[in-house]
Amino acid sequence: MNLNPIDSAGLSVFQALSNAGIDGILTSHLHIKPTRDGASITQLYVSDILRNNLHFKGLIFGEIPFIQKIAGDQPDGEIEKLALEMGHNMLINPDDLGDAIKKISRAVRKDGALAARLNDAVRKILEAKYKAGLLEIPTINTDNLVSRLNSPSAKLLKHQLAEGSVTLLRNSKKSIPIGLLEGKKFASISIGKEEQNEFTKYLSKYANVNHFPLRQISDTLALKNNLADADVIVVGIFPFSSSFIQHVIPFIRKLATKKEVIVCHFGNPEEIKYLEGFPTVLAGYTDEDWIPKVTAQIVFGGLPAQGTLPFTVSNEFREGQGFSTIALNRFSYSLPEASGMDSKTLEQINAIAREAIDSGATPGSSILVARGGKVIYEYASGWLTYQNKIAVTEQTIYDLASVTKVSATLQTVMFMYEKGLIDVNKKVSVYLPELKTSNKKDFTIKDILTHQAGLWPFLPFWVETVKNGSLLPEYYNKVASAEYPFPVADSVFAVKSMKDSLWSWIIKAKIREKPPRTVYDYRYSDMGFYILLKLAEKMLNQPMQDFLDQNLYEPLGAYTLGYLPLRKFPINQIAPTEDDKLFRKELLIGYVHDQGAAMYGNIAGHAGIFSNANDLAKLGQMLLQKGSYGGQQFYKPETVDFFIGKQYETSRRGLGWDKPTVSDWAGPTTLYASNQTFGHTGFTGTCIWVDPAFDLVFIYLSNRVNPDMTNNKLLNANIRPRIQEVIYKSIFNYCQY
């Protein structure tokens, strides 16, 4: 095997380290590569380069597997001898120690220069041991040694170094950061990795990205078709053979003539020279640790680009080069300590989540905590069902149940209020005249939003459409058609007149009784959100789900947040809810658990929204940021403040939002939550809580109603508030220490 001298591109880094007095260098990070120049590997003296060129005086470490890789097959012990000849002082992971000692001993007896090199290595090792205080055998506490070496502060430093090092080398089309998300289709290509890796994982935190691997040249044929609809293609180039990269680059260049292509390089820095001419190039220098994670965040504006190239690679990519960008107030993903939280305390959440699963309170759950715009804790645990066949992941989608009220219907109400389309203090019958002759004629929008309108909590409309346990054919059919267009469950479709029938039943529905000339007290109800859905669709002149997709969910990048998830996602990504034995007679997966919402074609004002934890958190973060997210202003700050504020002394509620109770351990939140907190819970075992005083977003998603909705263990064990309490304790503990 022949070799080039060590790649000159990387030497400036080691020169700086040598000048700083570093004690040791591992040569695995010096990019030694094959060549045709005829130089023998024994002529490549690492010591000549590091000692003479860089004036390095410390220890030189060599990994035997790395040297084996570049030298090819050799007899036993030969690689170790070769490592010594190259100038290494210490050898890591020798393959055969006995043969290595024999070969080195024989070589030293014959070669005086090699003997001197061995003596020099021994002297340097002894000096290093003396300097390290090993003259006296120290007493080392090995308790929790690994965790102490990998302390939170050490991890945070590594993350911060990654954030500061990723370099934006070219941005001629201002593609970085990606701003507007709606209307764009995204794809990624991973060269040298499987399609599921750390880089693609974090790309998917921001947008619905289709991921494709490229492992061999023949893969480009299928890729060409798979990428036909993509508008933006993010290419990740991971450590691979240089010759393969050179063969792939022409394919990527051709893509860049027709598509917006962003190239992110995670391999040998010398290979960056092959990327000349691309409009958008990011250099990560390595695929280790947090570099791919950070790079994905820079692409979508979760983090700013701030690195500079430490050495000259080519005429186009020169030392000191690097463009700076700004963050777009989207989520970034970091460690608890980056947001003033104690990671050790947060680990207590794992045990509570495990308790819920082990006790049969829920098959699985997904938990997310964000503080200061950073997602600092994500924990997906358990299974989709108690059969333990499919594990929950961070991408698992849950039925949000009543969280729909605030994540869907309330968002349309806020929009209509801000645009002057409605006045929340007016009677809803002003906008829906059909209510003027009903017992709901005097209900104001504000009273409906605060659950003080006098509506019944729940009315089982579905029983009107069932007889003797069977679905009535005038309401349902097993096949979708123009006459039966609304999906209710798998192979169950509602008649097109169903929504009109439901609206008629709602108008005629009874209300609560009260003494004359008194106001209704607080009583939580689903019924008002049937009315608000009707109001929204009339005033906006389009289906509510279309309005939300276009104006909120897509711009947020919250692509799993929405109705009818089976139209966009595979069934094994969705957590099942109840095995419904009364109405739909099947296990519900991807169909709304609530019966009334199901009759509405799975699109209702009080239920029907599904999401994963990350996308629901984006909505919470946007509201925490006073209506701003991803560089867009969705609401005016005063609109957000108005709706999240407490409305009456006699009720804890905001407009649509729930809020904490004061000094009541049985309330929906921990007592540590500030009085500014707003959020909502869902019947299926979900919640969102946002606390502006602590800059917090907390999401808990579960399917506790699987397979039976009467399972109240999650509520009885107070799982959600207990987890929320740990979050606050992590802040207090961090401040304490």
Residue 140: what pLDDT? Answer: 81
Q: Ramachandran region of residue 516, left (φ > 0), alpha (ψ -120 to 50) or beta?
A: beta
DSSP per position, 157-212: HHHHHHHHH-EEEEETT--SS----TT--EEEEEETS-SSSHHHHHHTTTS-EEEE
Residue 143: what pLDDT? Answer: 87
User: What structural domains and CATH numbers belong to the chain?
Assistant: 8-131 (3.20.20.300), 159-328 (3.40.50.1700), 349-736 (3.40.710.10)
In this structure, of 24-28, 183-187, 583-587, the range with the lowest mean pLDDT score is: 24-28
∠ CA(496), CA(501), CA(507), 5° rounding? 145
Terminal CA-to-CA distance of the chain, rounded, Å? Answer: 56
If pLDDT is split at 50, 70 and 90, which confidence band does 32 have? low
Residue 11: what pLDDT? Answer: 67
Residues whose CB falls within 8 Å of the CB of residue 304, separated by 6 or more in sequence, listed in order: 298, 324, 325, 326, 327
Note the pLDDT tens digit of each residue in 252-272: 999 999 999 999 999 988 899
Q: Specify the higher pLDDT residue, 221 or 6.
A: 221
446 HSE (CA, 13 A, CB side): 12
pLDDT surpassing 60 at residue 129: yes
pLDDT surpassing 50 at residue 219: yes
pLDDT surpassing 60 at residue 3: no
Residue 37: what pLDDT? Answer: 42
Which helix (H) or strand (E) covers residue 404, if one does?
Answer: helix 403-404
Q: Specify the higher pLDDT residue, 610 or 48.
A: 610
Note the pLDDT tens digit of each residue in 65-118: 888 877 778 888 898 998 888 889 999 998 888 999 999 999 999 999 899 989
Beta strands, E only, 450-552: 466-467, 470-471, 476-477, 486-489, 492-494
Residue 1: what pLDDT? Answer: 33
- Average pLDDT over all residues of the chain: 92
Tokens of 249: 């680059």
> What whole-number percentage of the chain has pLDDT above 70?
96
Which helix (H) or strand (E) covers residue 102, if one does?
Answer: helix 97-110
pLDDT surpassing 60 at residue 42: no
Q: Specify the higher pLDDT residue, 32 or 708.
A: 708
pLDDT surpassing 60 at residue 452: yes
Are the beta carbons of 700 and 365 closer than 8 angstroms? yes
Residue 5: what pLDDT? Answer: 46
What is the pTM assigned to this prediction? 0.89
Note the pLDDT tens digit of each residue in 468-506: 999 999 999 999 999 999 999 999 999 999 999 999 999
Are the beta carbons of 350 and 367 closer than 8 angstroms? no
